[in-house]
């Protein structure tokens, strides 16, 4: 039982009783204490490790809303608007027009060996192209024989060419479904919205359940990215979790050099609610330190920038029709009732405020049947919640994990076209959540936006859009609150705050290793803080060694 004492330039503990230290003692992957060397020497014989003497340590960052797709999707073609870093540190340039997307896809198609092999891309979002939507004919320019499918950045929409639609049986004129818009010729435009429409096509082009559940290669790639970004615990927040994927996760996370604690949530979709809850309960019993199973994810609506989120009156600023219910509110209420009865935590995706209201109605009704003092049901995204809804969230004992990155990536579009200036300025209302006493986390939803908790903290502090507009001065939060939201705040929403999220006695020895001090650098530059790697469970992983 060797004791290692690490010295650092500064240790930001997130422990209010002792917020800073110079040394931290670790034994068997857990923290004995944080303080001065003289204090920690009382634990007995030890080894002094000074490799972080000129570095700053923080609690390992907790990404409370991400997906293993951030690792697996790099097998496909990236066609997002912004430059993007892959798990190996390479930066891929953005494709800034539909013509640029088509050109990148055409280049990738030429490299495929089989003439009928599907071509899949990801990260696409036509909202940046002045309202110009991608149509079937655009992707037919890539190939009129090879299936081509392009997943939107939101992961709520897929665009497909004619061969892909034909392979899925969707290239016909008799379709009447809100997720399948039709063109002037009566045929689908190629844009498929929501799980029903997307699910009919995705398996036909190689974007099937195995991709959604992750694989060993993608899981390891995801973990490498976590090391680069200082993340020691990350969620896979909506997985089908088939048995083969669970076995794979148990094997890979059990490898001696696997650097990340993974928290996968079973997605409630078409299965009966009792079956889903029974599956979650059974999975929880199989948890390990590095694979925490036993939570449920419900997705109630779509995305705001994809115009598939459910909004209350007055609806979309540009007059677009209201979005889609991915789950019927009645089904959500049944899930909440069953989950509370079996002690299962539920995280619920609600982008629009109508979806948030429906979730709160469902939770209130479920709690009337099964009261629970510390259920920690969490609303994920919850982007358009207003002050009254936050007060209600607090009264119901729920948490929120707000999508702070949205300000940068889609803030200008929200201001101009999706919800208009007033509602755009209150989106992801971190300050109101805290003022209402609501437990708060913030997230990236990687791969929807890039994984990087310090960037997410910057987004919540500055609320700047890509054009530089400050989107809601009153909803900015200070540096301390933002750093707490990516550590203890996120840990709390997962029910893991007794184990991770701060550097204090008894907790896991999970640290982010920083080359810069996030308290000394200007708040508007906190996203520039350099990350050298992590200590996870007492094991050191450096980005330079990946």
| Residue 133: how many other CB atoms lie within 10 Å | 15
> What is the Cα–Cα distance from 192 to 273, expressed in whole angstroms?
26
Tens of pLDDT, residues 439-463: 999 999 999 999 999 999 999 999 9
Q: What is the DSSP string of 158-203?
A: EEE-HHHHHHTT--SS----TTS-B-TTSSB-SEEEHHHHHHHHGG
Rounded to an integer, the average pLDDT of 95-118 is 93
Tens of pLDDT, residues 416-441: 999 999 999 999 999 999 999 999 99
Angle subtended at Cα 322 by Cα 316 and Cα 325, rounded to the nearest 5 degrees? 135
144 token code pair? 């009129």
> What is the Cα–Cα distance from 79 to 89, expressed in whole angstroms?
17
* Banded pLDDT at 210 (limits 50, 70, 90): low
Rounded to an integer, the average pLDDT of 258-276 is 96
> What is the Cα–Cα distance from 317 to 325, expressed in whole angstroms?
19
143 pLDDT exceeds 80? yes
494 pLDDT exceeds 80? yes
Rounded to an integer, the average pLDDT of 88-115 is 93
> What is the Cα–Cα distance from 319 to 350, expressed in whole angstroms?
21
> What is the Cα–Cα distance from 280 to 286, expressed in whole angstroms?
10
Tens of pLDDT, residues 8-35: 999 999 999 999 999 999 999 999 999 9
Give me the pLDDT at residue 213, please: 73
Share of the chain above pLDDT 70, in %: 99
> What is the Cα–Cα distance from 534 to 544, expressed in whole angstroms?
11
Tens of pLDDT, residues 375-413: 999 999 999 999 999 999 999 999 999 999 999 999 999
Domains recognised in the chain with CATH numbers: 77-206 (3.10.310.70), 211-535 (3.20.20.140)
209 pLDDT exceeds 60? no
> What is the Cα–Cα distance from 185 to 17, expressed in whole angstroms?
67
Alpha helices in 285-371 (DSSP H): 329-341, 353-369
Tens of pLDDT, residues 112-125: 988 889 999 999 99
* Banded pLDDT at 133 (limits 50, 70, 90): confident
Residue with tokens 């929403």: 493
Least confident segment among 54-58, 206-210, 218-222, 493-497: 206-210
């Amino acid at each position: 039982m060797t004791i290692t004492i690490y010295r650092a330039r500064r240790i930001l503990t997130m422990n209010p009783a002792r917020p800073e230290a110079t040394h931290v003692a670790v034994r068997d992957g857990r923290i004995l204490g944080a303080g001065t060397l003289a204090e920690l020497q009382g634990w007995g014989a030890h080894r002094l490790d000074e490799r972080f003497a000129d570095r700053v340590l923080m609690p390992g960052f907790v990404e409370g809303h991400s997906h293993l797709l951030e690792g697996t999707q790099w097998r496909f073609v990236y066609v997002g608007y912004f430059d993007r870093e892959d798990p190996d540190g390479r930066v891929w340039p953005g494709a800034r027009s539909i013509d640029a997307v088509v050109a990148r896809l055409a280049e990738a198609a030429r490299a495929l060996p089989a003439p009928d092999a599907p071509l899949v891309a990801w990260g696409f979002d036509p909202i940046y192209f002045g309202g110009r939507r991608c149509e079937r004919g655009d992707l037919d320019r890539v190939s009129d024989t090879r299936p081509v499918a392009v997943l939107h950045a939101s992961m709520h929409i897929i665009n497909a060419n004619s061969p892909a639609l034909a392979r899925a049986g969707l290239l016909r004129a008799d379709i009447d479904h809100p997720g399948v818009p039709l063109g002037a010729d009566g045929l689908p435009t190629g844009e498929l919205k929501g799980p029903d429409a997307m699910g009919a096509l995705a398996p036909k082009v190689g974007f099937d359940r195995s991709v959604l559940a992750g694989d060993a290669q993608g899981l390891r790639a995801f973990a490498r990215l976590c090391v680069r970004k200082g993340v020691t615990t990350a969620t896979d927040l909506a997985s089908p979790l088939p048995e083969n994927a669970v076995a794979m996760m148990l094997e890979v996370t059990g490898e001696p050099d696997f650097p990340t604690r993974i928290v996968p949530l079973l997605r409630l979709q078409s299965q009966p609610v009792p079956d889903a809850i029974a599956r979650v309960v059974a999975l929880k019993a199989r948890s390990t330190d590095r694979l925490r199973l036993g939570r449920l994810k419900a997705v109630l609506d779509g995305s705001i920038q994809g115009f598939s989120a459910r909004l209350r009156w007055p609806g979309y600023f540009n007059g677009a029709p209201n979005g889609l219910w991915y789950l019927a509110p009645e089904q959500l209420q049944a899930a909440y009732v069953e989950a509370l009865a079996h002690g299962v935590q539920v995280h619920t995706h609600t982008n629009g405020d109508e979806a948030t209201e429906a979730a709160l109605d469902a939770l209130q009704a479920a709690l009337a049947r099964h009261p629970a003092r510390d259920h920690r049901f969490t609303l994920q995204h919850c982007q358009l919640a207003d002050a009254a809804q936050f007060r209600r969230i607090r009264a119901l004992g729920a948490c929120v994990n707000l999508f702070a990155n949205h300000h940068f990536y889609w803030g200008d579009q929200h201001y101009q076209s999706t919800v208009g200036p007033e509602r755009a300025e209150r989106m992801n209302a971190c300050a109101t959540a805290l003022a209402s006493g609501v437990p708060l986390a913030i997230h990236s939803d990687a791969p929807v936006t890039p994984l990087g908790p310090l960037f997410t903290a910057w987004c919540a502090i500055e609320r700047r859009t890509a054009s530089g507009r400050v989107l809601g001065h009153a909803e900015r939060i200070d540096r301390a609150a933002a750093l707490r939201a990516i550590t203890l705040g996120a840990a709390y929403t997962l029910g893991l705050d007794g184990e991770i999220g701060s550097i204090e006695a008894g907790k896991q020895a999970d640290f982010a290793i920083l080359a810069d001090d996030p308290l000394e650098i200007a708040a508007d530059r906190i996203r520039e803080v350099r990350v050298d790697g992590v200590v996870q469970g007492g094991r050191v992983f450096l980005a330079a060694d990946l």
